[in-house]
Amino acid sequence: MVKKRVAVLISGRGSNMEALVAAAASDLYPAQIVVVIANRPDAPGLARAAAAGVPTGVIDHQGFGMDREAFERALEADLESRGVELICLAGFMRLLSPWLVDRWQGRMLNIHPALLPAFKGLNTHARALAAGVKIHGATVHFVVAETDSGPILAQAGLAVNAHDTAQTLAARVRRLEHRIYPLALKLLAEGRVRINDGRCVIAGLNEVEDVLISPGPGGWST
């Protein structure tokens, strides 16, 4: 099997990156993580990636001052030099300019800790609690120029408990993230995802994949 070459971009802890790396360790997985790149030299995920034997890179945005484009050109050059075919943003806290997003259109995924299109942006768990929603979750979507707005590839939901705090909710949602992100990347790497009029159409879903993408009435126990 020819595996797709994937870069994971992080800014922090990197637990989603670890989930992707773990999934990609299987011979049967259709993608390999060829590099983990952080925009912060102190991102804890870098050490985790190195411990898992994955090459790492740092492109420190602060080294470019206010020049966003120079940072992005350096990032793009790095990705190209490694023959990267797909990008997974995993807690990457830099907005990317339209030229870069356009270049990777249909080939760059992000994971967001809410059921989009609800709760775009930051502090999603506290906002979900404040809004009193009864179902919350996470979304894997394609990256487009507008933040947290691209075609939705996979979602996972859970019931909000009366005693949930932003912290407990974050931890429970994160466990779902670690399941749907590897699945979403697998579907993309297998060439089974088509974008039609801003919506993802997925070819040949099997029962397990289907339940993971759109959890049934009972949701998942987390």
DSSP-derived pairing of the beta strands 4-10 and 31-38 = parallel
Residues 125, 137 contacting (CB under 8 angstroms): no
How far apart are CB 102 and ligand GRF at their closest, in Å? 21
Q: Please say which residue, 30 or 137, places its beta carbon nearer to ligand GRF.
A: 137
15 vs 56 by CB, closer to ligand GRF: 15
**How many angstroms separate the CA atoms of 62 and 178, rounded?**
29
39 touches ligand GRF (CB under 6 A): no
**According to the binding rule CB under 6 A, does residue 112 interact with ligand GRF?**
yes
Instruction: Specify the residue for token string 């075609």.
Output: 151
CA dist., res. 153 & res. 157, Å (int): 14
CB atoms within 10 A of CB 172: 20
Q: Can you tell me which residue has the tokens 């049967």?
A: 28
- Active-site hit among 112, 136, 141, 178: 112
Binding mask 132-171 for ligand GRF (x = CB under 6 A): ------x---------------------------------
112 labelled catalytic: yes
List Cβ neighbours of 155 (8 Å cut-off, separation of 6 or more).
115, 116, 137, 138, 139, 140, 180, 213, 214
C-beta closer to ligand GRF: residue 4 or 141: 141
List 34, 49, 96, 111, residue binding ligand GRF (CB under 6 A):
111
Q: Residue 113 interacts with ligand GRF (CB under 6 A)?
A: yes
Residue 94 in the binding site for ligand GRF (CB under 6 A)? no
Confirm or reject binding of residue 116 to ligand GRF (CB under 6 A).
no
**Can you tell me which of 6, 7, 14, 150 binds ligand GRF, judged by CB under 6 A?**
14
Which of 78, 88, 85, 103 minimizes the C-alpha distance to 5? 85
Could you list the active site residues? Answer: 112
